[in-house]
Amino acid sequence: MPFRPSASVLFGICLALGCSREPRGTAKPIPPSDPSPSYSAEHIVPTGSLKAAALAPGRLATIYGEHLGPAQPCLGAADPSTREKPNPLRPNQAAIEMQLFPTRLCDSEVQVGGVAAGLLYVAAGQINFRVPQSLPTNGSTEVRVLHNARPGPSVSVPLTTDAPNRTPEQVAESMWSALQRVSWQQRYRPATAGCAAVPAQPTAPRGGLNGYAYHCAASASGVTTESLYYPVNPADPEVLLLRADIRPLTTYPEWSAEVEQHLTRHLTEAFGPGSTPDMIYEVGAYRPQPGRSWRTGRLTYFLNSNLGHLAPTGIRTGVVLIAVRDEILAQRPATEPAAPSFAHARELEQVLSQWYSAAAPQQHPRPEAARDAEDHRTRTALLRLLRHAEVGEAKRAAALVAADDLAVRLGSLLVTRTYQKGAENLGLAASAAEIRTELAKLGVRYGEIGHYSGDLEYDRSLLERAWTEYPDTIWGQRAFLMLQRLGCATNQFSCDGPNCFLAVIEQGGKFLERYPTSPLRTQQIHILAVARETWWSLGHARPGDISAEGANVTSATAEQARLRAIHLYQELLHAVPDSPEARAAEMAIPRLKLKLDTGARDFFCSSC
């Protein structure tokens, strides 16, 4: 039985083409005065391309323009019982390239070299069509759109063979075979042909699926296999092959969608039906098309359409098969810095149940009446906390930390948002001036609307008060750690321009000397280790790295910071082996011992 693309394959192709998901409809009559179709050769592109290129027999293509069809889009259905023979000069075509689509849809036609093209989608601004098989594979041809018998311009478009030398099924078999040949946990060797060091990305500095150290790419039989090596084992670091990405060299959607279907069959036969993976953006597993995943032994396989996914070698498209060892998947939840205990507002709620609720209001509530209600509720709770005079330093410090949280929330509620022609306009609520004056008397001062936050910004002075007025209390000390985390985002922490990591190291060290038995000792040691790691990474930034602009470091001081960071991380491993901080240390230590640039930028603000 000949292979037929499934509904999911057709849907994936439609997404790649940018088709509307609206149902097929009947076009409304167009008055005779309506203009003729308008477009140019630069707006006729092959499927999956953003710029004009040569067309080939059977290929799917898109025309962008105006007045190409009706306002309500129409979808063209292929004849399920008939297939056209492929052009002999381009024999290895996907099934959809050989299907017959209607040549007239919603009173629109596309003539390619005088031959009516099959239409998959017609709308006022876009037509997706299939190039006729009868066209030659060299020279050029004329393309013209007609809508309601009104012709558009005749434009010249170049032709090409663009013929893959293998069928989609053969490429799927090659991808499957490449997967079987992966030498898992093989040590990285610098002399391996085709391998090159890849610098760690600042967005994923310590681990997770993007935290590889070296990357190799080799192509054969129409397939590229990318081998990714990761540092592991804090005691005796080594760099092992723990992830493999396999993808076809030919990536246009109507072809790779068929490859994906063949691979799905292979994986299902080998490992069962599979499941929908969690949101893992590093492998393209994100909505609305996360693909499928299969698990066996210590490996997890991900298969998806990979539309515009950011990969080690840059932006790529087309089906991708990714296999990952458990060691790397286990690192992913610990990629972010360990969350300190003060971040759990529920504890504050228990201490201050009469005045504080951990449940934050809906962000930017609409309509205006809802915003006013949340504004009043939050302001009332904030004023109660600021005027709270109950005896007891610990509870007073907690009240200031809780009030700080409410002040941040209120800064969002004091900004109004209106929308006009798709643009968001920000302004101050009518009550903002009065509230600012009232709160300023109590030490809470707001600035302007933040450029990035879109909220009325407040200087976090309440945290500073909690720390300076009640430093011997747990909530006063939590306020200090919060100020460290904020770094140069607030004026309350003494930063040297962007080099806040230096202030963190100095002041965090004094904190441990003053409070050696503090319950927050673990979190403070972790913060100091991360700050030292940032110092090390900044000392190895490449020339022109804008993420390191303004760094006050040298190679010599960076080396000292590396050794100190290792010592602090090892202290966490021994003192609190089951903590989130220790899990973060397990990822950082191998990289630091191997002198790899981790890309860390915590407590560094190049825009300060």
Residue 511 has pLDDT above 50, yes or no: yes
DSSP bridge pairs for 311? 314
Query: CA dihedral defined by 265, 270, 275, 278, rounded to 10 degrees?
Result: -110
User: Confidence band (pLDDT; 50, 70, 90) for 481?
Assistant: very high
Give the burial class of 542: count Cβ atoms within 10 A of its Cβ; 0-12 exposed, 13-18 middle, 19 or more buried. Answer: exposed
pLDDT of res. 215:
85
254 three-class SS: helix
Q: Is 414:402 a contact under the CB 8 Å cutoff?
A: no
| Torsion sign over Cα 197, 203, 205, 207 | negative
- % pLDDT > 70, the chain: 84
Mean pLDDT calculated for residue range 77-86 = 89
Run of H or E including 377:
helix 368-386
Cα–Cα dist 446/106, whole Å:
57
Cα–Cα dist 148/338, whole Å:
63
Q: Is the peptide bond before 471 cis (omega within 30 degrees of 0)?
A: no
CA angle 223, 324, 335 (to 5 degrees): 125
Residue 156 has pLDDT above 80, yes or no: yes
Pick the closest to residue 183 from 234, 230, 237, 227 (CA basis). 227
Tokens of 34: 């309506």
Other C-beta atoms closer than 10 Å to the C-beta of 229 total 24
Cα–Cα dist 491/587, whole Å:
32
Residue 521 has φ and ψ, to the nearest 5°, of -60, -45
Mean pLDDT for the chain?
84
DSSP code at position 285: B
Pick the closest to residue 6 from 132, 96, 113, 122 (CA basis). 96
Q: Which residue do the tokens 């066209």 mark?
A: 135
User: Confidence band (pLDDT; 50, 70, 90) for 104?
Assistant: very high
DSSP code at position 57: T
pLDDT of res. 219:
87
| Torsion sign over Cα 542, 547, 549, 550 | negative
Whole-prediction pTM: 0.75
Residue 319 has φ and ψ, to the nearest 5°, of -55, 140
Residue 507 has φ and ψ, to the nearest 5°, of -75, -35
pLDDT of res. 336:
54
601 three-class SS: coil
Residue 186 has φ and ψ, to the nearest 5°, of -70, 140
pLDDT of res. 30:
47
